[in-house]
């Protein structure tokens, strides 16, 4: 079980690195997808090795996938809006709410 959890942890921190360093909004969204996948690997691993009598981990992973899809749809619509307003998709353009 340990290698699966370690793989998920390393993938999650790669996602953290991407979210913190990317300047392109689509890059940030892709790093978010990496983090969702790490979480899903964790859920399925625990489902196999810890509570093998049910499938609650896998069901939760299904819901995570659905919510991630919804997030990607709304996020990419916002990306198109940003592009329409600023002619570019860098995240530093969107500083209207920055104090």
Partner 1 sequence: MMESQPSIAFWLLAIVILTSGFMVVSLRNIFHCALNLIMCLFSVAGIFILLGAEFLAAAQVLIYVGAVAILMIFAIMLTSEISNRRIVQTTENKSVALFISVIFALSSVFLIMGTKIWRMSDQALPENNTLTIGKYLMTEYMLPFEVVSVLLLAAMIGAIVLARKEAS
62 counts as binding partner 1 under rule CB under 8 A: yes
CA dist., res. 10 & res. 2, Å (int): 12
Shortest approach of partner 1 to residue 97 CB, angstroms?
17
CA dist., res. 62 & res. 54, Å (int): 14
Residues 3-32 that bind partner 1 (CB under 8 A): 3-7, 9-18, 20-24, 26-27, 29-31
Listed in sequence order, the residues at least 6 apart from 45 whose beta carbon sits closer than 8 Å to its beta carbon are: 1, 4, 5, 8
Shortest approach of partner 1 to residue 69 CB, angstroms?
5
73 counts as binding partner 1 under rule CB under 8 A: yes
């Amino acid at each position: 079980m340990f290698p699966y959890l370690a793989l998920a942890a390393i993938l999650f921190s790669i996602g953290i690195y991407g979210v913190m360093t990317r300047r392109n909004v689509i890059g940030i969204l892709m790093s978010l997808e990496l983090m969702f996948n790490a979480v899903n690997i964790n859920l399925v691993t625990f489902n196999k090795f810890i509570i093998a009598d049910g499938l609650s981990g896998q069901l939760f992973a299904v819901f995570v996938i659905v919510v991630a899809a919804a997030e990607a749809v709304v996020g990419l619509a916002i990306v198109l809006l940003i592009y329409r307003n600023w002619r570019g998709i860098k995240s530093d353009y969107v500083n209207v709410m920055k104090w």
